[in-house]
Amino acid sequence: MTHLVMNEERGSKRSSSRSFAAVALSLLAVLACLVMVSEPSDAASGTTGDCSWNVTGSTLTISGSGSMGDYTADTAHWGVPNDSITQIIVGDGVTYIGAYAFQSCTQVTSVSLGSSVETIGPCAFYKLGEADFILPESVKYIEEEAFFTEVRSIYFGDGIVRVHERAFFGIFDSDGSEIAITPDNVRGHLFTKVGDKLCRDHVSVDTDVPDMSIDASRGSVLDAASVADVITRATTDASATLTVTCGAATMVFDNTATRNIANADSEIILKEVGVGPFNVPAGSKVFQISFGDTHQLNGGKIAVTVPYDGATSGMKLYYIDGEGNVTEAGDVSFSAGKATFTLDHLSTYAIADLSPAPSGGSDNTMLYLGVFVVIGIVLLVALLFVAKPSFLRRN
């Protein structure tokens, strides 16, 4: 009897253990399900044209190689509500941003475009949030209403070939006058929102110091009032100079050159423009260098330093005038991937090797010698034929 009771107790304990284990496993399963349900999805993803897209958190990334797809107005195509996206990244390899691609992404404040984008399609950034744009040098074409949005600032690279006249709500000069939307009017310029207008950004200069400087890397126009202040400082302080930075290139105006800057709104340009139509050999480097309407410096000098990765042997500086004539303008020094030269006026210049080709005198000498030998042999034969020796006459 005692054994029976003990066996029943053991059976009861085993049954209780199994029940507890089952309950515990059920609870764990429920908790796992709850975690899976409550954990947000890691990403939404898909394809667009030749490319892929991915949304992680509030960041939309376009990657791959080739063109994005085109879309129509008022459609959500990124797997999440458009107004939940705050950052857009278009990676290297993407060449075309599709029509209405990012329309109504009203909370976006950051946009990054890869260095391969060539075309921005119609209404691509329609009704976007206020954002800053830097268009890489690769961008050539901007289509209709591409930026019909509240742009905070936009910088245009030098590659712009065509921009639709209705690509923006409008662009303006710093005085509020409207500017026609053309490639020449936007190429290489920074526009910033001022009030409710997108205005061409004018650079500034601190004239309270003798070593005045301008950063014209983006936005390249110094207004007339600032130019006048620069000239006044240079006129009243013989030690005053002006340094202009354009990306990795610089111009340093000595005091005389600074005093002779043209007193007007001045667009500053210091960039390589390619050999193009200029009468210089392949391998040359051609630079456009200007400061508004300033040309002659009345004895002033400008030291120019530009990035340089070309040949150095035999290279000199050449001035290219408006008709394409090329004139030697001085020496160039090379150091650490840069070229430095001095100008006495502003224009288009080339670093090139235009020295005459070797004359090849030794080859010509041998040629002339050969000709004379042949002529001599011919004359000798002729003389022998005319005056036959006696031993030949017997025959």
Average pLDDT over residues 71-86: 88
223-250 pLDDT per residue, tens? 888 999 999 999 999 999 999 998 899 9
- Taking domain 203-352, whether its CATH number is 1.10.3470 is answered by no
pTM comes to 0.59
The pLDDT score that the predictor gives to residue 41 is 44
For residues 234 and 227, give the distance between their C-alpha atoms in angstroms, rounded to a whole number.
Answer: 11
Question: What does the alpha-carbon distance between residue 312 and residue 335 come to, in Å, rounded to a whole number?
Answer: 10
Residue 350: pLDDT band (50, 70, 90) is: very high
Fold designation for 44-200:
3.80.10
The 10 Å CB-count burial string (b at 16+, else e) for 46-66 is: eebbebbbbbeeeebbbebee
pLDDT (0 to 100) of residue 387: 61
Q: Which residue has the higher pLDDT, 148 or 355?
A: 148
Q: What are phi and psi of 178, to 5 degrees?
A: -75, 145
Specify the pairing of strand 197-200 against strand 221-222: unpaired
Distances (CA, A) of 218 to 92, 147, 184, 207, 348: 22, 19, 15, 20, 21
Please give the pLDDT value at position 150.
84
Instruction: Supply the pLDDT for residue 277.
Output: 80
Mean pLDDT calculated for residue range 336-340: 95
Question: Which region among 10-24, 83-97, 275-289, 304-318 has the lowest average model confidence (pLDDT)?
Answer: 10-24
Q: Provide the pLDDT confidence category of residue 38 given band limits of 50, 70 and 90.
A: very low
Lowest mean pLDDT: which of 29-43, 155-169, 275-289, 292-306?
29-43
